[in-house]
Amino acid sequence: MVDLSTHRVDFCQSVRVRVLTLHRSPLTAGAWPEGVSVAAVERCLAVIEARDPLTLPADRGALAAAQVVSVACDLDGDVVGVAWRRATPEGAQVDVRVKPGLRRHGLGTQLLGEVAAGAAPLWAGCDAAHPRVRRFLLHQGFALAGVVFHQRWDGEPRDVPPAFASAHLETPSDLAMAVSLLRDASAGTWPRPAIGAVEAANGRARIAWHGDAPAGVLLAHRESDAWEVDGLAVLPAHRGSGVGRLLAADLMRFAAESGVGVTLRVAQDDDAGLSWSQKLGFWTYRTWAMYRR
């Protein structure tokens, strides 16, 4: 039976490849286009990640959950490029990756076209120091939406900065309450918190209470070498009283006790946020440009 959800484009421009695209449904979640081997996709991503240090390792969970995946295969069946699109709270996000030796042949354009079709607004990101990718995205009609500093802290428990006892912290029994508080407290901020099922599964949530009133919240999830802050926000009425610092220091202590760091994201033009995180000891390890079209 012909798989109607798979679209084939044979012999993409000047390189002899086939591009296979799968629009996943709930029934085909996690599936790949017919004939594509997951091991071959993995080999392709591993080559790109090894040869192109400015390209972040693909988030395998996001890839498995993507709504659309497109794979370029050469005539031997080796995967030479992969693109995917996933839903985000701000619309949809695409990621396109082509093996270094096969770039500048129109493959990236072809793969992006496959996964982007019909989606708006569409987001894509790259390291701000990656001029080729920046130029590619601009030529594909994206415009710079903002720049985010990825920051981290690695310290010993004794390096955790002191915090005022301006609130008391609790682990919420109801994660939905923490997510709803995060949405309220972070309204109008950018970058938006990254809230998702994956984060919840290996995550940590803490709520700061001022008396009987919730004042702030922190959601984070564990990566291999750090706790990544998905969202940290204090309700406007409680800002400026040390609640954010208390929440951050709590996670820093927890991370330091198990020998890992803490990472968080602050917008490049958020002077107050940057000064706050730098005083806690965070430093910028990556400058990430977000594009939108």
Ligand X SMILES: CC(C)(COP(=O)(O)OP(=O)(O)OC[C@H]1O[C@@H](n2cnc3c(N)ncnc32)[C@H](O)[C@@H]1OP(=O)(O)O)[C@@H](O)C(=O)NCCC(=O)NCCS
Three-class secondary structure of residue 63 per DSSP: helix
Question: Which string of DSSP letters, residue by residue, matches 121-146?
Answer: SEEEEEETT-HHHHHHHHHTT-EEEE
For the chain, give the number of residues.
293
- Binding residues among 119-138 for ligand X as defined by CB under 6 A: 124, 126, 130, 132-133, 135-136
Measure CA 180 to chain center: 20
Residue nearest to ligand X (CB): 108
CA 15 to chain centre: 31
CB of 21 to ligand X, least distance (A): 16
Residues 1-40 interacting with ligand X (rule: CB under 6 A): 14
Q: Which of 17, 32, 36, 55 binds ligand X (CB under 6 A)?
A: 55
Instruction: Identify which of residues 107 and 234 has a Cβ nearer to ligand X in the complex.
Output: 107
Nearest approach, Cβ of residue 152 and ligand X (Å) = 21
Smallest gap from Cβ 131 to ligand X, in A, equals 9
104 part of the interface to ligand X, by CB under 6 A: yes
| 109 scored as a contact of ligand X (CB under 6 A) | yes
Residue for token digits 């309700």?
235
Q: Which CB sits closer to ligand X, 149 or 288?
A: 288
User: 111 with 84: CB under 8 angstroms?
Assistant: no
Q: Which of residues 211-240 bind ligand X (CB under 6 A)?
A: none
Burial (CB count within 10 angstroms: exposed 0-12, middle 13-18, buried 19+), residue 3: middle
* Residue found under tokens 């029934």: 27
Q: What is the spatial distance between Cα 136 and Cα 108, in angstroms, rounded to a whole number?
A: 9
Query: Could you tell me the end-to-end alpha-carbon distance of the chain, in angstroms, rounded to an integer?
Result: 37
Q: Which is nearer to ligand X, 95 or 154 (CB)?
A: 95
Number of residues that bind ligand X (CB under 6 A): 23
**DSSP one-letter code for 201:** H
Q: Which is nearer to ligand X, 54 or 201 (CB)?
A: 54
CB of 48 to ligand X, least distance (A): 6
**113 is a contact residue toward ligand X (CB under 6 A):** no
Applying CB under 6 A, the residues found at the interface with ligand X are 14, 52, 55, 94-98, 103-109, 124, 126, 130, 132-133, 135-136, 139
